[in-house]
Amino acid sequence: MRYITLNPSGELAQLVERLLCKQDVSGSSPLFSISKYLKECLSIMADKGKQFEWAVVLGCWKRVGMSNLSTDKQTLFLNWDNPSHRDGIKDADVKQAGMDAASKIASSVSGVDFKTTRQLGGGRTVTAVGQSEPKTDVIIGRDIKISVKWEDKGYQLASGKPEFTYENLKNSLSLMYEVGDVSLTDYNQIRDLIESYSLAFSGVGTQVSTQIDSILSRNQQLVGQLQLILGGNHDPGSVYEQFNRAVVYEALTGENLFGSRSESTANHVLGNLSGFHKITPQYVNIVAKYFKSRIASKKGRGRTATGARRNDIAGRLEIVERDVPGLIAELSRLRH
């Protein structure tokens, strides 16, 4: 199914030409170290995000009753339902969100067999670029494959090493070209920018923090170009708007990375604030209006023998906290 439609143009060429004339292209996202506050927010999101996955599965199981589950699932049921257990869901608001989520799924999809609900996230799938985490976090039966998002501090589409960000961008562009939705001129210009990103950041690995900051500083203009193209408001029907939609679709589903039939490929999104939605063209269009890119130094990779901090580079596609209310307002008007 096609989620993107382009009127071929030379718009990207014009944008790149203007960008090359700018002396200070930094975009609106930070280029260097992630702040202490942001690190704390990401830690909270990661913890509650995992708890929310468990809570969604638990909420689904509670709709059929523990006695109707397999022995393995009954064990998980008891563990997750007990806040004193090591793997128990500690936050009451997260547990309630899971119950609410199960109700939303039941009201949106008829004939759901909640006994088949299971968590998929946490494992890794071997792909052409190594081992990748599935986009599906919770799966019901074979056809309801859900990406679960805890949205209190933002909405994360994708995060990982530069190699995986590069693969996402490259796959999205290739899909556009294969279906004839981008001109050869625009394809070549976007491809060159993506390849420049890969040459600058892929394979950098973990290094002393000052070296990571130096690499980012040397490539400030490139980062600025990517941040202007990825995210932000673009003219309707422009090559940038359509490329953003393609990137968002791949970031949400992982379809090009895993294949359309893989259980790792998500086809629904469930947010604790935004609700339960199928990943449709309308859903993708709304998310594409709000997401931004961030290329930054990621801390917490240990220290050298002399005590110097070691960091690496991470690429993130996300909707920041201040933009989440606008996203939710638009998504609330969508039919499930």
Which pLDDT does position 301 carry in this prediction? Answer: 54
CA angle 322, 326, 328 (to 5 degrees): 110
Task: Give 37's contacts (C-beta < 8 A, 6+ positions apart).
Answer: none
Task: Determine, yes or no, domain membership for 33.
Answer: yes
Residue 6 lies in a domain: no
Identify whether 2 is part of a domain.
no
> Could you tell me what percent of the chain has a pLDDT over 90?
40
**Which residues fall within 8 angstroms of residue 69, CB to CB, at 6 or more apart?**
61, 77, 115
The per-residue pLDDT string of the chain (336 residues; one tens digit each, 9 = 90 and over) reads 444 443 444 554 454 444 444 333 333 333 334 444 444 444 444 478 899 999 999 999 999 999 999 999 999 999 999 999 998 999 999 999 999 999 999 999 999 999 999 998 554 444 444 557 899 999 999 999 999 999 988 898 887 888 888 888 888 888 888 877 788 888 898 899 999 988 888 888 888 888 888 888 888 888 888 877 887 667 767 788 888 889 999 999 999 889 989 999 999 999 999 999 999 999 999 999 888 887 765 655 566 666 666 777 778 888 888 999 999 999 988 865
Which residue range is the domain that position 25 belongs to? Answer: 11-331
pLDDT for 307: 66
CB 140 within 8 A of CB 73: no
In this structure, is residue 1 part of a structural domain? Answer: no
Q: Is residue 271 part of a domain?
A: yes
Supply the pLDDT for residue 131.
59
pTM, two decimals, is 0.78
Q: What are phi and psi of 132, to 5 degrees?
A: -120, 140
Give the total number of structural domains in the chain. Answer: 1
53-94: pLDDT as tens digits:
999 999 999 999 999 999 999 999 999 999 999 989 999 999
In this structure, are residues 311 and 212 in contact, taking their beta carbons and an 8 Å threshold? yes
**Is 5 inside a domain boundary?**
no
Residue 126 has a pLDDT of 44
Residue 106 lies in a domain: yes
**301 occurs within a structural domain:** yes
